[in-house]
Amino acid sequence: MGALVRIRDVSKRYGDAVALDHVTLDIEEGGVQGVIGYSGAGKSTLVRLVNGLERPTEGQVFVGDDEISALPERRLREIRGGIGMIFQQFNLFRSRTVAGNVAYPLTVAGMPRADRDRTVARLLDFVGLLDRAHQFPEQLSGGQKQRVGIARALARDPRILLADEATSALDPETTADVLALLARVNRELGVTIVLITHEMDAIRAIADRVAVMENGRVIENGDLYDVFATPTTPAAARFVRTVLHDRPSPDTVARLRASHAGRLVTIRVPDRKGFTAELSRAFAAHGVGEQLVFGGISEIAERPVGALTYALEGAEDAVHRLLDALRRTDLDVVEEG
């Protein structure tokens, strides 16, 4: 469909502090773009540029055909009607009911009462809270509050939904439920989602693409599978390890070396069927014994990703020929230690 949001060479400074440093990023229409980074990486500043709450010090931000970084405030308010926002701490009105919270942006927009009531009922049904319409936020769980936040963010039929650390305050089971709801929003309503987080599990669950931020820069951006399978920066590799746990740490390598006499080798799992059978045939053909001592295989975007660490036993020249043969088949083979 093409890019709905285009960020071009954007920098944002607050005095001497640099929050964003020459960031360029496209967010595809109809997709789920993950943006991940540790605290202070610039993620939230990036979000505030997309909805026009901040203006860049340098560079341009486009939403559709509009350069929102150059628009007057009145026009920005109109565009924000097409950009929904959900927050880590929910930001619900404690004095309003669930229905009243969802109705609020529609009331501000001047929607007639009958239309407003129908829209609120439809959205609460969509998020599974129609039976809670007349309750107040303090009567809800954290996950239910976030569902109200999502319904409110959808009230004006936005093209874009910005989720800024939307699951960080939730327990793992509730996080999974909220992410599944966001996936429905994207799939069934066609809303483009920008998921800002420091949790790679959230990115893995629903994103199509992921941008990794560090020190105000986008240091890596690509297809979800590619970033998981072959991260090209140390920061991306650290995030991937928090989810996959498939490669041994230096301490683990030391422990494995102390308990296994063989040569330790880690092999990245390729995206093709029959990989483990292929390895078994190669080991047998070269007369090399193997013991699987570490690793795991996961699925990202319905494709395998991971790594397996073996202790290889056999004559040194036989092991050497085996590793050469494996590398000639385009396998990523790393000798540990």
In the structure, what pLDDT confidence band is assigned to residue 49 with cuts at 50, 70 and 90? Answer: very high
Q: What are phi and psi for residue 167, nearest 5 degrees?
A: -115, 5
The residues spanned by each domain of the chain are 246-335
Q: How far apart are CA 36 and CA 205, in angstroms?
A: 13
CATH number for 246-335: choose from 3.40.50.2000, 3.30.70.260, 3.40.190.10, 3.90.1300.10: 3.30.70.260
**pLDDT at residue 189, rounded to an integer:** 96
Q: 251: Cβ–Cβ under 8 A, 6 or more apart, which residues?
A: none
Res 97: pLDDT: 97
pTM, entire model: 0.88
Question: Taking residues 308-320, what's their average pLDDT?
Answer: 93
Share of the chain above pLDDT 70, in %: 99
Instruction: Quickly count: other Cβ atoms within 10 Å of residue 132's Cβ.
Output: 18
Compute the distance between CA of residue 32 and CA of residue 235 in angstroms, rounded to an integer: 21
**Residue range 134-157: mean pLDDT, rounded:** 95
So what's the pLDDT on residue 337?
67
Q: How far is 310 from 328, CA to CA, in rounded Å? A: 18
Across 76-100, average pLDDT: 91
